[in-house]
Every structure is written in structure tokens, then in C-alpha cells.
Copies of this chain bind each other. A is one copy, B any other.
Amino acid sequence: MPEFAKRMKTMEKSAKVIRNLFGAMSDPDLISLGGGAPATEALPVEAVREILNDIMQRETRGQEVLQYGSVMGLKDLREVVVHNLLRPVGIEADLDEIMIINGGLEAMNLICQLYIEPGDVILVESPTFVQSVEIFEMFEARCIGVAMDERGMDLEDLKNKIDRYSPKMIYVIPTFQNPSGRTLSLDRREALAAIGSERDIVILEDDPYRDIRYSGETLPPIKTFDQTGHTILANSFSKIFSPGSRLGYIYASKNVMDRLFDAKTATNSHTGIMPQMVCAEFFKRGYYESHHKMICDLYRERRDTMVAAIDEYFPEGTRRVYPHGGLFTWVELPGGINTTDLLEEAVSNPLVKVAFVAGEGFFVGGDGKGSNAMRISFGSVPPDRIIEGIKRLGRLIEAKLSHPEAER
């Protein structure tokens, strides 16, 4: 066979991280604090059942579900984005500035189609979401990490790296970031939008967790501060409705949308109609509000349980993020423990059997950063299992700290 294209080589490292991730998640014996999936109990099965039943009762509606649809997405669902999701956070969007896509991740692919040439630099948070990095690398971009602190991306480091690398794009997950759980502060949001405009850089704001907040104050999206169209907002219905429906959206100015129309056409024509129609009805019937409250209550309890368990069972010197929302916390271990080794033991040792995601994979530099860090997910595991999992992990870590010679 002919050789694979260069991009398939470029993306190999991140692709391997992701394949390992999928592999680890599929062992049913584990307490998996690894995956990023929503809780099964947080999926609106009953509402979807009712809506589907109503839709398919009507012949013309049923035909609409099964026939070709619009590249931009179902009008009803784009209205939901404008009225139910963007207006409440202070954005007045036009319908033709919204495109419905096949899951939030497709935004990264489509925006790269629009802007990224091989060799272009994309600045990303350090750590960042490895699946987005995989996409950036498939487009042969060079990803450079920008330091973070508790308030998100460090703007001094950002400015230095802009001067040094002349990036085409800055990729940021501002709210309850994956993997760190951190949130970009208000002043930095405003500053980041201005940097995009002033330095002529695309700010790709990926905000899938913003609507699952359990404490603290809601912050406006970076996009609300954008005066020039440099910020593009990508979001997902995976965490607030259903990931299996593969629904997300892009909000961008009209001139960007015109080209997104072409890129989406040349990717898969349009997003499936059935999930779009169900999701639109879910909002239009007013089911979202009570569902949203239910899932936030569910996740808040798990977040609180997780944080308390880490504080109780992990050794002194452990640092962890207190996430005000989302599905993850980020833990840094003391004593030079390597979390990649720890994970291998945690998964294979029959006395532990707990999965998490080792920190290293989330750093683009590959310079050993994050070797003592771990992303721990609390979303899809019931509270008693969270406590049990953290307790077992804590014991394993303590054992390694007191017998460091046993480490490989």
C-alpha cells in the first residue's frame, strides 16, 4: 500500500495516549476514575423516549427525521442555542452564526480545516485536552504549551510565547478545564479576547463544561469580550444532554460560517437529524431546566465526596484542584511518584483495581511534565465507589512512598 500521509505520523503520540485511554476504560472490573463520560443516571432516557414517540407519530415529522437535512443544522436546534444557551450568558447571536456539528470535538477538526497549515503553531494550555491535540497534530500543527496557574492560562507566559512563536491559534478550555478542573478568571477572559484581536490570532474557546457548575459564580465566555470576530466559540451537548447523540455547535461570525459551511459539507454533509430534533424538543418542552438541576445536584455530591476523600486518604504534600464544576480534578503527588507507573500498578494489582489518567499525556512538550500528576474523574462513579477507589489508591501511594525501593 502507498505510505500513509505525514499527518498520520505527526499524530501518532497523542493517538497512542488516546487508544490506551479507551482500552483502560473498557475493563468492567475496575473502579474507573479515568473516563470523561457523564453519569449513566444523568442521561434523560425518559424524556427522550417521550419525545421520540411524539415525533415519529407524525408522518411528515418522521420523514423529516429520515431525509437529508441542512448543512448548518436543524433550525429548531440552532434556535435553542441562540435562545437557551447563548442569551443567558450575555451573547446575542444570529441564527446564521450557529452551526450544529457532530459532537463538540468536530469543531476542532473544522476550525483546523479553515485555518491550519502544516507547521502553524497552536498555543494550548499546559496541561490540555489530549483529543484536541490529536486533531491539531493531524493537521500537522506544532502545539506549544502555555503555563497555567489556579486562575487558568498564565498571560505573561502566553505573551512571551506569542512573541516567540507567532501562533495562528490559541486553544483554551476556559471553564473547569479538561484535565485540570481549573477556570480562567474574568480579567484573563477579557484580556485573552483582546490579545486575539490585537495580535490577529484565532482564539478557539472550547467550553463543554460551562453549564455544569456546582458552586462559585458564573463567568461570561471569552467570546462576549470579542470585538473583532477573532474568538470562535465551540460547545457540546454531551455533558448537558447526551454524548451518544454526538451534538455540538460552533458560534462564529458570518464570514467564518460561510467557510465552515464548505468544510462541514466536505466532512460529512450535515449532522444527523434524529438526535438534533430530539435535543431541540428537549429544550423547547422546557425539560432542560429540571434536568440541569438534577445533574448538577448529582455531580455536586460526587465532587464533594471526591475532594473530601482525596483530602482524607491521599498522603500529606498532595496538591489538588477544587473544581467548581465539570467532571475532573487534578492531583499532584509528593515524593517523586511517577503516575504512569502508578497507573499500571493500580490497574493490574488485584487489591487496587482503580483507573485514572496519568498526567504526562496531557502535556505537549513531552519533557516529563505532569509525571507526578493525575486526572481523576468523579462524574460517572457513585459516591461509595469514589470513596473506595480513592481509599485504595491512597493506600497504594502510601505504600510506594514508604518503600520507594520497590519502584521500578
Contact = CB atoms under 8 A, between A and B. Distances in A.
Contacts of A18: 262, 265
Contacts of A37: 67-68
A85 interface: no
Contact of A114 (B4, B48, B278): B4
Interface string A113-138: 11111000000000000010011001
Contact of A273 (B109, B244, B255, B263): B244
Given A2-B200, A114-B5, A275-B272, A56 B45 contact: yes
B242 A270 contact: no
A229 B1 contact: yes
B62 A57 contact: no
Nearest to A67: B244
Interface stretch (A7-15, A90-98, A384-392): A7-15
Contact of A69 (B109, B202, B244, B262): B244
Interface stretch (A99-107, A297-305, A320-328): A99-107
A255 B256 CA distance: 37
A65 B48 contact: yes
Q: How many copies does the complex hold?
A: 2
Interface in A4-42: 4-8, 11, 15, 18-19, 22, 37-38, 40
Given A8-B113, A267-B109, A267-B267, A243 B102 contact: no
Interface string A34-65: 00011010011100110011001101001111
Contacts of A53: 52-53, 56
B269 A245 contact: no
A11 B262 contact: yes
Interface residues of A, number: 81
A43 B56 contact: no
Contact of A52 (B52, B238, B267): B52
Contacts of A255: 1
Interface in A107-166: 109, 113-117, 131, 134-135, 138
A230 interface: yes
Contacts of A275: 272, 274-275
Interface string A249-279: 0000001100101110111111111110010
B270 A246 contact: yes
A246 B40 CA distance: 25
A89 interface: no
A56 B54 CA distance: 13
A168 B2 CA distance: 7
Given A66-B244, A134-B266, 10 more contacts: A1-B256, A2-B168, A8-B262, A45-B65, A64-B244, A67-B244, A101-B268, A102-B268, A244-B273, A268-B268
Task: Give the 3 A-B residue pairs with the shortest CB-CB distance, closest first.
Answer: A45-B62, A49-B56, A66-B242
30 contacts: A1-B228, A2-B202, A4-B115, A5-B116, A8-B262, A8-B263, A15-B266, A19-B261, A37-B68, A38-B67, A40-B63, A40-B67, A45-B62, A45-B63, A52-B52, A65-B242, A67-B242, A101-B268, A102-B102, A102-B246, A103-B268, A131-B266, A138-B262, A138-B263, A245-B272, A246-B271, A246-B273, A267-B267, A272-B274, A274-B274
